[in-house]
Structure 1
Amino acid sequence: MGHDIYGLNKAREEIAYARFSMGNHNALLLYRLLDAYQFYAGVSGTGKSSIFSLQQVEKAMRGYIKFFKTGDSPSESDCTSWDQKQIFNFIQSCLATAYKEKSVEVYFG
Structure 2
Amino acid sequence: MSHTIRSLSNRGEIAKLQFGASNRNMAAMAYTVLDAIEFDAGVSGNGLDKIYSKDQIQTALKGVEYFKDEEFGSYRLRKGDSDSEAFLNKVADGMFGKVNVIVQEPELETKESCASRCHNFLSTIMKSMSSEYVTIEFR
2:134 aligned to 78, 92, 104, which one?
A: 104
Aligned length: 97
Q: CA RMSD in A?
A: 1.6
**Contact in 2 for aligned 1:10/1:105 (Cα 8 Å):** no
Matches within 5 A, 1:82-97: 83-97=114-128
Cα distance, 1:68 vs. partner? Answer: 1.1
Stretches (4+) displaced over 3 A? none
Q: Does 1:28 align with 2:28?
A: yes
Partner of 2:43: helix, strand, or coil? coil
The one-letter amino acid of 1:92's match is: S
Q: Secondary structure at the match of 2:3?
A: strand
Write 1 or 2 for the structure with the bigger share of strand.
Answer: 1
Amino acid at match of 1:94: I
Deviation string 1:74-97 (CA, Å, 9 cap, x unpaired) is xxxxx942x333211111112223
8 Å CA contact retained: 1:10, 1:101: no
Structure 2: give runs of 5+ residues left out of the alignment: 70-110
1:11-40 deviation digits (Å, cap 9, x = unpaired): 3x1111011100001122111001011111
Percent of aligned positions with the same letter in both sequences? 33
Kindly provide the CA deviation profile for residues 41-68 of structure 1, in whole angstroms up to 9, marking residues without a partner as x.
0110001111101111111011111211
Aligned-partner SS, 1:57: helix
